Amino acid sequence: MMKKLVVITGASSGIGEAIAKRLSDAGHPLLLLARRLERLVALNLPNTLCEKVDVTDQVSFEAAIAKAEDQFGPTDCIVNNAGVMLLSELDVQDPAEWKTMFDVNVIGLMNGMQAVLAPMKARNTGTIINISSIAGRKTFPSHAAYCGTKFAVHAISENVREEVASANVRVTTIAPGAVETELLSHTSSDEIINGYEDWKESMGGALAADDVARSVEYAYQQPQGVCIREIVICATRQPA
């Protein structure tokens, strides 16, 4: 018997791709969402629907979920992983970068939560896993706007968790430290990128994407009556 449907955003690379592979191996049908459809299709995972969706577009987001549910049944878990990190000191940063990060990291995440919450509450079951960052718990140089988005993710996740706890719906926040992904490549400043890479080297390397994926799988595979509210995961030698 097939397991329950899991929706994963930002699944075309990095943490999202690693989560997709791990939960597919565990037997779950998947809806994979990203803007790079060809990358999703290339994963060639069984019982998987791949859709080109920008998470800031609520209509297409909800349409993709409805399409997957027609095929695989109700969404049991959504992993809101899509995100963008544009690092800069605030006084010189292009305000368009602030908007991009808040649109994707915050509004996109809330779009995903809203798309599944009412049906989960009605069924008295379901899991929402939001990928935040240690930058949602503490600040870092050149991270002001990015930290703002991730602090928002932490607050929204915990607030909604409290709202839906009585309906037996779980909300989990995963807060990774530095991870080897494409995320840093979005930043335009070579100086910031080089400094970040030096910082990772000083700790003997960052987490692998699959390290975070294991944390997601661990939280999700707990009995429905057990909610792991937050996981903070960093390389052992990451000091901050």
Which residue do the tokens 């390397």 mark? 205
Angle among Cα 112, 116, 13 to the nearest 5 degrees reads: 40
Separation between Cα atoms, residue 31 and residue 8, nearest integer Å? 6
Contacts of 13 by beta carbon, 8 Å cutoff, 6+ apart: 34, 36, 39, 181, 182
Residue 73 region, left (φ>0) first, then alpha (ψ -120 to 50), else beta?
Answer: left
Helix (H, G, I), strand (E, B) or coil at 207: strand
Residue from 146, 196, 218, 220 carrying the catalytic annotation: 146
Q: What residue type is 84 in one-letter code?
A: V
Active site residue 196: no
Q: Which residues are catalytic?
A: 146
